[in-house]
Amino acid sequence: MGLLFQESPKYLLTSESVTEGHPDKLCDQISDAVLDAVMKDDPMGRVACETAVTNGLVIVMGEITTSSYVDVPGIVRDTLSKAGYVKSEYGIDAKSCGISVSIQEQSQDISKGVSTALERRGDGASEEDLDTIGAGDQGMMVGFACNETPELMPLTVSLSHKLVRQLSLVRKEGILPYIWPDGKSQVTVEYRYGVPHRVDTVVISAQHSPSVDNDQLKNGIIEHVIRKVIPADLLDADTNIYVNPSGRFVIGGPAGDTGLTGRKILVDTYGGIARHGGGAFSGKDPTKVDRSAAYAARYVAKNLVAAGLADRAEVLVSYAIGMAHPISVSVETFDTNRVDSDTIHALVAKHFDLRPAAIIKDLDLRRPIYTPVAAYGHFGRDDLDLTWERTDKADILRAEAGL
């Protein structure tokens, strides 16, 4: 979305989100809860944990190298219970579901490449040397920020997340007692000349008790979810609101849809408004640049926008497996920049170290901090103190750019 988007008189953009009871999000939370259990006792542990859920069964698999003990079945049951799956009629029961675990250690070939980067092999580099750790895989990572919301996220995905969080809240607090754990939201915003103008369409799909009728469900969700979240000045007589447009949604959760870790990557990031490198986050320790470099790229983009260097910034970073230094770093500002591109790239190179070991150190990533972001997005979380969401470099960027 470059100059054409900024000059377009009308443009519709859409994002979605899902509740923590959505089958794919259950898997993300289980995988990250396993990661957090390792990080708690063994910060240097290597984790690549994948989860699948279906009717009455959870499968946890992957590669984990750690000195700590992890009670995987206990983590599974605790995660399901917290998400609301305490009755089999909801789609799975935390107390009685089957659990299968198949975990092995990380490949020694990968381990050696990560533990000692190509740049330092053979020279006796120490763990403290930031050139020591090589990227855990090749790939491209994307970070994005824009000035549409206080948290510097696209309005579409911000509203989508808030809707499903509110949907979960009215279930947990008994405000709408007929709501069950599974649910989704979708928001379409009308932009005019690159600026959000109004909400065009809202879609909410909520799993529910068979005893509630469609009108009661729709009216309850409009009153206690949609109007509680979306500012009144963004809604008008032409806004389309759809609640459970498919009809009944009683069969949900893992009984209605098999879940897998890493299948909601746009929900996790920017709702499709920015590009995506393709790598999922959950269940991966910070040596995996799919996760850590995506966090770092968001950190860069958010500070650039917070500093006023641009209204929109998309940071793209790429790596080769086993190498410490990125292959490429680039910044796209979609013609919203207030200083020239060369200045922006020079400031990024000066103030942000994007080697994996530097990212882990600067963002303090060897901690059990991951389960909370496994639902409702990894970015723009004003309810959490996330290092990659800080704008602590905005002042120096602004000063050195001469703004």
Stated pTM of the model: 0.92
Given a cut of 50, whether residue 51 has pLDDT beyond it is yes
Alpha carbons 15 and 266: distance in angstroms, whole number: 8
The answer to which of 72-81, 125-134, 393-402 has the lowest mean pLDDT is 125-134
How does DSSP classify residue 60?
A: E
336-358 confidence digits (pLDDT tens): 999 999 999 999 999 999 999 99
What is the mean pLDDT of the segment spanning 270-274? 96
Strand order in the sheet with 179-192: 11-18, 179-192, 195-208, 240-243
Alpha carbons 13 and 320: distance in angstroms, whole number: 33
Identify the CA nearest to 85 among candidates 140, 29, 26, 38: 26
Neighbouring CB atoms inside 10 A of 385's CB total 9
Identify the CA nearest to 396 among candidates 329, 338, 339, 347: 347
What are 50's two structure tokens?
A: 């994948």
The burial class, CB within 10 Å (0-12 / 13-18 / 19+), for 308 is middle
* CA Rg value for the chain: 22
Q: Average pLDDT, whole number, for the chain?
A: 92
In one-letter notation, the amino acid at residue 15 is S
Helix axes 289-306, 394-401, angle to 10 degrees: 50
Given a cut of 60, whether residue 194 has pLDDT beyond it is yes
Concatenated DSSP letters for 180-229?
Answer: EEEEEEEEEEEEETTEEEEEEEEEEEEEE-TTS-HHHHHHHHIIIIIHHH
> If you search the block for the tokens 């305490």, which residue do you land on?
86
226-252 confidence digits (pLDDT tens): 999 999 999 999 999 999 998 999 999
Longest dimension (CA), the chain: 70
Work out the pLDDT band at 68, boundaries 50, 70, 90.
Answer: confident
pLDDT at site 193: 87
Alpha carbons 244 and 205: distance in angstroms, whole number: 4
Alpha carbons 344 and 349: distance in angstroms, whole number: 9
403 vs 14, higher pLDDT: 14
Neighbouring CB atoms inside 10 A of 112's CB total 12
Which is it for strands 46-54 and 57-65: parallel, antiparallel or unpaired?
antiparallel
What is the mean pLDDT of the segment spanning 155-174? 98
Identify the CA nearest to 218 among candidates 244, 239, 187, 237: 244
